Every structure is written in structure tokens, then in C-alpha cells.
């Protein structure tokens, strides 16, 4: 019975397959990527891990904006000390940088801080769509 239906509706079957296969394959799982803006959210002193949350814009905190092609922008503290006097705000600057994944769990950042080139090797502890934890 199916064979008769298929042969009678051959053009319909081909049309359905032509549209159905791309639709079914487009529902594959999205790969989680580090390419986004990450804003410092906290520090876990138990395991010495820095926590970043994804955000659509820069905030008043250290930020890592990892762009396609290995380009990056880093928002960093401009003073040598992370503390401020009462009533003072922390001053930040945004610097151009580069980044690369040396492996699935090692993020390399290259940037300038206080006039000196910096290479920061961050071990990725966990990565979700909304959170990046590094050490």
C-alpha cells in the first residue's frame, strides 16, 4: 500500500523530502561559544575561580569581549590597586586585545596593561551559555 502511494505521489514525496531534511537538520544543538561579552560577576575563593556572566553591554566591572577572528576588547581597572576611597568610583579603560583557545579548556589573552604587554592563560573550569568560570 505504501509502495503504491509513493509511486502515485512521487513528486509530492520528493518535495516533502526536499523541504523536510534541511528543517530537521537545522534543529541540531547549538555549540556553546566563548565569543561574546563576559562581565566579571564574582570570585569563588574556595576553588580560586573567577566567574563571568554573559551580558549585552559593558558594565562597571572587568569585562572580556571576545570577538570573532581572535580579536577582543578588555575593560580593566586603570589603577594598580583594586580598592578605592569612600565615595570614589573605580576607573576603567577598554583596551584592544587578542584571544585564542589553545585547547577546549585553555583561553589565552594578549593585551596591554599599565603600558606592558600581558599574556594571561585562563583555564576554563566551566562554560555555559550564560556563565564562564576560569582559573
**pLDDT tens digits for 24-51?**
444 445 688 999 999 999 999 999 999 9
* Residue 66 domain-assigned (yes or no): yes
* Residue 113 domain-assigned (yes or no): yes
CB 119 within 8 A of CB 99: no
Residue 115 falls in which region: left (phi positive, over 0), alpha (psi -120 to 50) or beta: left
CB 134 within 8 A of CB 107: yes
The reported pLDDT for the residue numbered 86 is 79
CA angle, residues 133, 58, 123, in degrees to nearest 5:
20
CA pair distance 38, 128, nearest whole angstrom: 12
The reported pLDDT for the residue numbered 78 is 87
Residue with cell string 579603560: 93
* Residue 29 domain-assigned (yes or no): no
Q: pLDDT for 45-95, tens place per residue?
A: 999 999 999 999 999 999 999 999 999 999 998 876 666 677 788 889 999
* Residue 5 domain-assigned (yes or no): no
Q: Based on the structure, what is the number of domains in the chain?
A: 1
The reported pLDDT for the residue numbered 25 is 41
* Residue 3 domain-assigned (yes or no): no
Q: What percent of the chain has pLDDT over 90?
A: 64
First to last CA, the chain: 63
* Residue 127 domain-assigned (yes or no): yes
* Residue 126 domain-assigned (yes or no): yes
Helix intervals (H) in the chain: 2-8, 10-25
Is the model's pTM score more than 0.85? no
- 12: cell is 509530492
Residue 64: domain span: 37-134
* Residue 112 domain-assigned (yes or no): yes
CB 94 within 8 A of CB 58: yes
Amino acid at each position: 500500500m505504501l509502495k503504491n502511494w509513493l509511486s502515485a505521489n512521487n513528486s509530492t514525496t520528493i518535495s516533502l523530502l526536499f523541504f523536510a531534511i534541511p528543517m530537521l537538520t537545522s534543529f541540531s544543538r547549538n555549540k556553546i561559544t566563548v565569543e561574546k561579552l563576559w562581565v566579571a560577576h564574582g570570585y569563588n575563593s574556595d576553588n580560586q575561580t573567577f566567574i563571568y556572566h554573559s551580558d549585552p553591554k559593558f558594565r562597571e566591572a572587568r569585562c572580556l569581549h571576545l570577538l570573532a577572528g581572535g580579536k577582543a576588547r578588555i575593560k580593566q581597572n586603570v589603577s594598580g590597586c583594586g580598592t578605592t576611597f569612600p565615595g570614589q568610583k573605580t576607573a576603567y579603560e577598554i583596551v584592544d586585545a587578542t584571544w585564542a583557545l589553545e585547547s577546549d579548556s585553555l583561553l589565552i589573552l594578549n593585551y596591554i596593561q599599565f603600558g606592558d604587554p600581558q599574556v594571561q592563560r585562563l583555564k576554563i573550569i566551566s562554560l555555559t551559555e550564560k556563565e564562564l568560570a576560569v582559573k
